[in-house]
Amino acid sequence: MKALSLEIRDITVGYDRADVLSGVSLTANAGEITCLLGANGSGKSTLARAILGLTPPRSGTIRLDGRDIAGLAVHKIVGLGIGAIPEGRRVFPKLTVTENLRTGAYLVRDAALVATRMTEVFRVFPRLEERAGQLAGTLSGGEQAMLSIGRGLMGSPGLLIIDEPSLGLSPKFVKENFQVIRRINEAGVSVLLVEQNVHQTLEVAHRGYVLSGGRVVAEGTAEELKRHPELVAAYFGNHGG
Amino acid sequence: MDLALIAQHLVNGAMLGVIYALVAVGFTLFFGVLDVIKFSHGDVVMLGAFTALATSAGLVGSGSALPPAIVLAAMFIAAVGGMAVFGALMAKFLVLPLRKAPTLNVLLITLMAGTVIREAVRLFYPQGSNPKPFPRLLPTGAWEIGEFTLRYDSTILLVTGVVAIVLVHLVITRTRLGLAIRAVAQDPETASAMGIPFHGTVLATFAIGSALAALAGVVNGLYYSEVSFNMGLLLGAIGFSAAVIGGLGNVYGAILGGFIFAALQTIGAVLLPIASAYKDVFAFAAVILLMAWKPGGLLAERSADRV
Ligand SMILES: Nc1ncnc2c1ncn2[C@@H]1O[C@H](COP(=O)(O)OP(=O)(O)O)[C@@H](O)[C@H]1O
Ligand SMILES: [Mg+2]
């Protein structure tokens, strides 16, 4: 699938009563890595959920390659070419590695194509092939992260939404993950990368946004964000990301 | 006790086990995908049996001398197909709209739905209050093996039930729909983020569970040659107990639970030969003890990794 663009205009999103995001706009250009930075609780995951339709926005528009998707059922939105790598990995613990990958290709009805994609995922993550028949719940955290990424790729998405892939992983794994994300993008997939790991994220991202308290407080190219006063104060000052 | 009698008990116990397992699998599937207990499930068993009964009455009453095999096939198809549709409709209009409601409300509403189904059959089926004879359409002969006789009809019913259980296993473990059912049971949100349609999967699950209930109802009717509007009460209670014994949400637990309950009843009947009416009391008491020993069921699992 070709790289997809995403254009979010002025959305308001909330769970029960209070709005978590208010008046958020964001553009992810086709073929780029767009990152979404921000402290814990600033609303990054809520934005990812709003795009997928898991927490539909109360107002505003979300356009995928020009088509308004706000209000569609989750599986319909995903079917338009979005791959999801959810926060906390969320592999299906009682499905095997292979079955987990199959869920990622649920909308692909061509069995040969599913097999080809699985081979590709195994090429990127040989560890998964070694564990192919194992239940996902028995994998290590790093392996579950690989599985979650692999599963998100199985549908051959035009836009990949990745929510904190490095959370809870060892520094070595984190570094590998960022390299994998860069390679996925170079293969022609737009990426929306939600992260707290500012330094490494801005190394791979083209553009980015910073959320705080449910609002966009900074945006620009990765180079601009590296010099942005808010970010420098919040992240680069005391605890370097 | 002589060998022939023991064998008789074994066949009877296996027959009951198959029927209970078919009912229990529905309970456990519904709980797996939606975390609900659908208390009208027993009455769907009954409605399935009455659908088959009405089908045979219609075919035989029309005067055409159809061979029994055709009538039987029509009965099974009408009951299983009819209840699959009925189950999906109940899921769509009764259970799914209550998805955000407290579990207790779902319980109450399905309980009432069960009463409505039961009373509707009692009131609207001709002489619905009385037990109805179920047509004996299966071959009546038997194999004589020494002292032991194995009736054709029991064998056919047993094989039918076992084949259905094996089919369920294959659907759940080998098909795309089965993958969707298991993924939704484990994590509905992530499943939908993978493109698995939540509503469609739930409807399909309720269709499968209700089709199995109908099958249980028809097998039960053919085995006892009688059905009644309230047969779903006991079968529902037993099916639910069986699902809980096995560990709600676990398909194999439900099958195991069905056979355990049948074994308990059979043991009860053997131990209390004069008062075999107490076999249900014995079986349910044993279930209570079993639950005190293993509160989560025999194949208990954390709620995160069901089905
Ligand atoms: N499922 C939920 N129900 C209610 N509130 C939630 C839910 N998920 C997140 N929130 C609230 O929304 C806010 C933003 O959370 P989140 O989007 O997860 O932030 P981030 O991903 O940036 O850490 C937090 O205040 C959080 O408490
Ligand atoms: Mg988050």
pLDDT of residue B229: 96
Q: B250 to chain A: nearest residue by CA? A: A94
User: Under 8 Å CB-to-CB from B6, ≥6 apart: which residues?
Assistant: none
Is the pLDDT at A236 greater than 90, yes or no? no
Is the pLDDT at B244 greater than 80, yes or no? yes
CA nearest to B188, candidates B36, B38, B304: B304
The rounded percent of chain B whose pLDDT value lies above 70 is: 96
Atom number in ligand 1 closest to CA A43: 17
Mean pLDDT of chain A: 92
The string of pLDDT tens digits covering residues B32-90 is 988 888 999 999 999 999 999 999 999 887 777 888 899 999 999 999 999 999 999 99
CA nearest to A43, candidates A231, A215, A226: A215
The string of pLDDT tens digits covering residues B203-217 is 999 999 999 999 999
Mean pLDDT of chain B: 91
Model confidence at A75, pLDDT cuts 50, 70, 90, reads very high
| The residue type at A11 | I
pLDDT of residue B305: 44
Closest-approaching ligand to the CA atom of A165: 2
- Closest-CA distance, A25 to chain B, in angstroms, reads 22
- Closest-CA distance, A76 to chain B, in angstroms, reads 7
pLDDT of residue B175: 95
Residues of A in contact with B199 (CB under 8 A): 73
The string of pLDDT tens digits covering residues A28-65 is 999 999 999 998 999 999 999 999 999 999 999 999 99
* Domains of chain B and CATH, by start: 3-305 (1.10.3470)
CA nearest to A118, candidates A134, A135, A136, A99: A99
pLDDT of residue B303: 46
Model confidence at B300, pLDDT cuts 50, 70, 90, reads low
Is the pLDDT at A229 greater than 80, yes or no? no
Residue located nearest, by CA, to atom 1 of ligand 1: A15
Structure tokens at B288: 């209570």
Looking only at the bridges linking them, the beta strands covering B132-133 and B226-227 are antiparallel
- Tally the residues of chain B: 307
Report the distance separating Cα A130 and Cα B72, nearest Å.
50
Is the pLDDT at A135 greater than 80, yes or no? yes
Please judge whether B198 and A84 are an interchain contact, meaning their C-beta atoms are less than 8 angstroms apart.
no
**Reported pTM:** 0.92
Please judge whether A54 and B176 are an interchain contact, meaning their C-beta atoms are less than 8 angstroms apart.
no
Report the distance separating Cα B135 and Cα B108, nearest Å.
35
The DSSP-derived string for B84-131 is: HHHHHHHIIIIIGGGTTS-HHHHHHHHHHHHHHHHHHHHHHSTTTTS-
The string of pLDDT tens digits covering residues B76-131 is 999 999 999 999 999 999 999 988 888 888 889 999 999 999 999 999 999 999 99
* Domains of chain A and CATH, by start: 6-236 (3.40.50.300)
Regarding the beta carbon of A41 and ligand 1, being less than 6 Å apart is answered yes
- Closest-CA distance, B250 to chain A, in angstroms, reads 11
How many angstroms does the Cα of residue A129 sit away from the middle of ligand 2? 29
pLDDT of residue B34: 87
The rounded percent of chain A whose pLDDT value lies above 70 is: 95
pLDDT of residue B104: 87
Contact B171, B208 (CB under 8 A): yes
Report the distance separating Cα B188 and Cα B194, nearest Å.
10
Instruction: Please tell me the least confidently modeled range out of B20-24, B67-71, B113-117, B177-181.
Output: B67-71
Report the distance separating Cα A64 and Cα B234, nearest Å.
54
CA nearest to B71, candidates B262, B264, B218: B218
How many angstroms does the Cα of residue A41 sit away from the middle of ligand 1? 6
Please judge whether A94 and B197 are an interchain contact, meaning their C-beta atoms are less than 8 angstroms apart.
no
The string of pLDDT tens digits covering residues A140-154 is 999 999 999 999 999
Instruction: Please tell me the least confidently modeled range out of A151-165, B13-27, B139-153.
Output: B139-153
User: Under 8 Å CB-to-CB from A78, ≥6 apart: which residues?
Assistant: A52, A84, A107, A155, B192, B193, B194, B195
The best mutation among A13, A46, A193 to test binding of ligand 1, ranked by most ligand atoms within 8 Å of the C-beta, falls on A46
pLDDT of residue A234: 66
User: Under 8 Å CB-to-CB from B254, ≥6 apart: which residues?
Assistant: B21, B24, B25, B27, B28, B242, B243, B246
Sheet with strand A67-68: strands edge to edge: A19-28, A6-14, A59-64, A67-68
Beta-ladder partners of A224: none
Report the distance separating Cα B47 and Cα B29, nearest Å.
19
φ, ψ of residue B235 to 5 degrees: the values are: -65, -35
Please judge whether A106 and B307 are an interchain contact, meaning their C-beta atoms are less than 8 angstroms apart.
no
Report the distance separating Cα B291 and Cα A217, nearest Å.
56
Span A216-222, mean pLDDT? Answer: 92
Regarding the beta carbon of A40 and ligand 1, being less than 6 Å apart is answered yes
Query: How many CB atoms lie under 10 A from the CB of residue B199?
Result: 14
Q: Which of B6-10, B35-39, B148-152, B154-158 has the highest mean pLDDT?
A: B154-158
Structure tokens at B155: 């064998």
pLDDT of residue A32: 96
Query: How many CB atoms lie under 10 A from the CB of residue A86?
Result: 24
Please judge whether A155 and B197 are an interchain contact, meaning their C-beta atoms are less than 8 angstroms apart.
no
Of A78, A93, A94, the CB nearest to B194: A78
pLDDT of residue A235: 61
pLDDT of residue A233: 66
Instruction: Please tell me the least confidently modeled range out of A8-22, A140-154, B66-80, B282-296.
Output: B282-296
pLDDT of residue B307: 53
Report the distance separating Cα A66 and Cα A159, nearest Å.
13
